[in-house]
Amino acid sequence: MAKLYGNLGEYLSFNVSSFLKQQSLYFSFSVFSFLKQQILYRNNKKSKLSKSSKSFVHEYGRWDEVPDDMMGEILGRLNIIDRIRLGGVCKSWRSIVKQKDIHSAPSVPWLLLPHAPICNSLSFFSMSEGIVHNIKLPKAAHGGWCFGSSKGWLTIARGTHDDPQVFLLNPISGFQRHLPSLTTIPSFKDFVDMGSLGWDPNCVTSFIQKIELSSTDLSRCIVTAIFRLPTANFLAVCKVGDKEWSVFQGLKEKGSYCFDIKFHEDKLCALVEEEEEEEEVRFFCHTMELGSHEEAVVLKLIPNISARAPFLNEEETEIGDIWIQRNALQSHLVESDGELLIVSALINSFFSVPGEEDEEEDED
């Protein structure tokens, strides 16, 4: 791993602005070999192969007119980067690449690198290739900021601080769909009003803790989000195309804090603060209605038993204008090999605390 990140600085300066224009130059020769074999295999039953390339084209058709089902089989063997290169070969292949029901082969996820709050492109680090890919955002997303991803979709916000527009973006195809306005959530107005308390109302990521999708297919996808305030957070759900969010009041009534969410086995699992430590771990299920839709979401509350660890000893100290938090527990839900796991880490955080002089300058 150390070797992998050893020359990360060189990769960050690597210029791939012409990447999409040169896709066909880098396309794997193995894909063309596989394509040729499949064409020969399909047509060998009907006629014998001709030795000349001219008769091959006449008998077996053009290489850019491959049947859709065969192209689907090829796409299923490619990772995301080769899929992009395949789409750059010709127009007909590009249309097939953009089909939503054809999934790419499993591969190591790309890491989204830090970017400016308002940007026109995003940079992704490919751990398998050891290089950075720059992908330009569509014009409709210019001036926005990315604050997360789920099921291959980026979550991006843009607009004014009191009415930001949040939407999902596919960075490969450029396809995007808007989510309901945050103004349909009553607590959002309270969040904006807290600007005088030190919160930055222009930073939507302070209000949206996480957005999770149930499926890559947005036509049947359920979108769930954790929204937060300084002392609490809550869940809300919607479907793409809805006009408003449906807020789940259960956590707010109990005063429970939600650490993470994950769809698993057709249920929305939420990792929440354990109310009372008991010998037997208890799980609670609720039903969340989806606005005007007839369907509902089954919510399974999972207590964060990681907080029971005897070695946990969170400390908070203040040195000058620096506030230090040590051994803070940070827990997440992770799916591995069909099982849902709780993964926890101890985090040390450092914050700058505004002094009296800074406050006086702000008042002036």
Query: What is this structure's pTM?
Result: 0.70
- Segment 296-312, tens digit of pLDDT: 889 998 988 887 777 67
* CA trace torsion 142, 148, 150, 154 (10° rounding): 10
Q: What is the mean pLDDT of residues 231-257?
A: 82
Write a three-state SS string for 186-252: HHHHHHHHHHHHCCCCCCHHHCEEEEEECCCCHHHCEEEEEEEECCEEEEEEEECCCCCCEEECHHH
If pLDDT is split at 50, 70 and 90, which confidence band does 50 have? very low
> The tokens of 266 are what?
């057709």
* pLDDT value, residue 253: 59
Q: How many degrees, rounded to 5, is the angle at CA 279 between CA 274 and CA 285?
A: 50
| Interacting residues of 119 by C-beta distance below 8 A, sequence separation 6+ | 137, 144, 145, 146
Four-residue CA torsion sign, 29, 32, 38, 40: negative
Of 159-163, 273-277, 335-339, the poorest mean pLDDT is in 273-277
**Count of C-beta atoms within a 10 Å radius of residue 301:** 21
Of 68-77, 176-185, 198-207, the poorest mean pLDDT is in 198-207
DSSP state, residue 4 = T
Of 40-54, 146-160, 246-260, the poorest mean pLDDT is in 40-54
Q: What is the mean pLDDT of residues 86-112?
A: 76
* pLDDT value, residue 196: 45
Highest mean pLDDT among 130-144, 185-199, 280-294: 130-144
Of residues 201 and 128, more confidently modeled: 128
Helix (H) / strand (E) element for 92: namely helix 91-97
Q: What is the mean pLDDT of residues 42-69?
A: 56
Amino acid in position 296:
A
If pLDDT is split at 50, 70 and 90, which confidence band does 143 have? confident
Q: What is the mean pLDDT of residues 59-77?
A: 74
Highest mean pLDDT among 24-33, 195-204, 244-253, 255-264: 255-264
> The tokens of 51 are what?
């030795």
Of residues 49 and 233, more confidently modeled: 233
Of residues 252 and 103, more confidently modeled: 103
Q: What are the E-state strand segments in the chain?
A: 110-112, 121-126, 131-136, 145-150, 153-160, 163-169, 176-178, 208-213, 222-229, 232-239, 246-248, 258-264, 267-272, 284-289, 296-303, 315-319, 322-336, 339-352
Of residues 81 and 111, more confidently modeled: 111
**Count of C-beta atoms within a 10 Å radius of residue 262:** 22
DSSP state, residue 41 = H
Q: What is the mean pLDDT of residues 25-48?
A: 49
Q: What CA–CA distances, in Å, run from 204 to 130, 238, 256?
A: 32, 18, 22
Of 85-89, 94-98, 133-137, the poorest mean pLDDT is in 94-98
**Count of C-beta atoms within a 10 Å radius of residue 17:** 9
Q: How many degrees, rounded to 5, is the angle at CA 224 between CA 274 and CA 261?
A: 35
Of 202-206, 230-234, 346-350, the poorest mean pLDDT is in 202-206
* Residue recorded with tokens 């309901």: 180
* pLDDT value, residue 235: 92
pLDDT surpassing 60 at residue 11: no
DSSP state, residue 118 = S
| Interacting residues of 169 by C-beta distance below 8 A, sequence separation 6+ | 137, 138, 141, 153, 154, 155, 156, 175, 176
Of 26-35, 121-130, 148-157, 335-344, the poorest mean pLDDT is in 26-35
Of residues 307 and 149, more confidently modeled: 149
If pLDDT is split at 50, 70 and 90, which confidence band does 56 have? very low
CB 353 within 8 A of CB 323: yes
Mean pLDDT of the chain: 75
Q: What is the mean pLDDT of residues 43-51?
A: 48
Integer Cα distance of 173 and 177 in angstroms: 12
Q: How many degrees, rounded to 5, is the angle at CA 98 between CA 89 and CA 127?
A: 80
Q: Work out the burial of residue 332: count CB atoms within 10 Å of its CB; fewer than 13 is exposed, 13-18 middle, 19 or more buried.
A: middle
pLDDT surpassing 70 at residue 17: no
